[in-house]
Structure 1
Amino acid sequence: MIQDTFPSWLVKLPSLKVLVLRANRFYGPIKISEDEDAFPELHILDLASNNFSGELSVGFFQSLKAMRMMTDGNRAKPDYIGDNYYQDSVTIVNKGFVMFYEKILTILICLDLSNNSFHGRIPEEIQNLKSLKVLNLSFNSFLGPIPLALGNLTELESLDLSQNKLSGRIPLQLTSLTFLEVLNLSYNQLEGSIPQSYQFGTFSNDSYKGNPRLCGLPLTRKCNEDGPGMPTPKEDADSWVDGLSDRKIVLIGYGCGLVIGLCTGYTVLNELGNKWLERFTRNWNRKWRRSR
């Protein structure tokens, strides 16, 4: 395993088409300036399963020149990157599956930043990566809404944003991704109704699970007329109970037991006190009569 910061000198390699740094110990932010000569031919960038952190900069997306260019000519010629360029297989999580590529097609454009510690919002500049086929940003700490600009990535076939902190509604703009075969938005904080048109009618429940405020097909949770995605009082209560840790439940039980114990103790002591007071008064009256 390699433990280091991002090797920014790689951006100057003019013929670099595949860069896989997966499953190492790279750390820190990715610092790339807005340089027109950076990564001029890069088609596959796989930085998954490292310790990269920080926010994704505009310069990072500007540097991925080959991913930004899309022409009809490129789309019509699925040539290999080279007969002798890449002999070993490359592993890519594509469309929900771990796939091995012996030879890389020029039409395969992939960006995998999954399983790191990136945070902040997903920049709108991601829309400039027009040639992207596979985008995986899962298992990070991205927050805020899903960018509407993702709807401009019309070549996208696989989109994985699962296990982040994304919130708000699923943009209707994503329904324009007519080539999209795999979608994973699970385990975020999304809410509202799920779009139903075009490709969204083909995705299963697994694409949306872990978002308790989402509603509509394919989920069994129906959208309320008062507010789409708002849970019913029972669901809200169930969610509240489910979200409690064992420690909290123990503390609540302890607290309830303490209150009940105090109330019971007060009642018992109060009753004993009254009896003692009656007995004391009776004995005192008896002694007072005798003294007379």
Structure 2
Amino acid sequence: MSDLVYQPTAEQLRRWSGQRVGGTLRLTGPCPACGRDVTAAVSATLDGLETLDAGAPAPAGRTVSIACTAGCGRRWNARAEVEASGRARLAPSPDARLDEAAEAWRVAGTEQEGRLRAAAEKWIAGVTALLGVLTVGGVGLAAEPMRKLALGGRFAVAAVVAVAVVAAGRAIVLAYRAAYGWPRRTSAPDDAALLEWHARRREQPSVIARRLRGAATAAGVALGALVVAATLTWFLPAARPPAPLVRATMRDDATVCGTLLAATADGSLRVRRADDGEVATLPGAEVRRLSPVERC
């Protein structure tokens, strides 16, 4: 056991008093090691990264870890019992497992602001990378090869590119969560919840490894989907060129404007009128001029 850990007696702890204010226990009393007056605030909630996410009421009784703020640097554990009125009293800690969990909770509380700020800075790069993936997907959908494909081919390539974008985004999120976690609020109002939080904290290495494997798998899926999308643009059939629009000027100066269709008889032209959609059959001998146009 560390020399900084002090084992207070029941008599020393009876000199402490406290009050529950919301979800926080505010405790005051003499340091059992040096005798100087010490104040401590023990919250039932903790804003951290990837810990037990559970809502709970204000603490009614829980093992707490207290550090001397008067200069000696010693720390000790005690059981805080809270009455219905909100008044708190301390007693010796009943379980060594709870001592370890309570100390881990205290340390996590003192480090939470710095860890959250550091993680927020790293997540800026993650968000930027995600936006970059979305940009690449948009460029792929707007590329010239896409415009040359038939409609069915466009939908197929767009679906594959969407899979690539989703998989790439998942890879980025999983990788950043493995590296930096996700901010959550944890509640531990009693010893059972405290032990559960501590157990979940011990499981974090396996959770991180699982997320890294997921990130690698998703990145492979994204790369494969992009390769498939590129291959489809090469091998899918191109769209048929649109039928030309023409304006036919007859010998009597009448005009017919529309889509030029394949002829069904020699010496005649077939034009689907742009105004009413009817198909007009024009004798070739009556057509004085046939001109391509961009619109009718």
Q: TM-score when scaled to structure 1?
A: 0.24
Higher relative contact order (CA 8 A, sep 6+): 2
User: Which is richer in strand?
Assistant: 2
Q: Which has the larger radius of gyration?
A: 2
Q: TM-score when scaled to structure 2?
A: 0.24
User: Which is richer in helix?
Assistant: 2
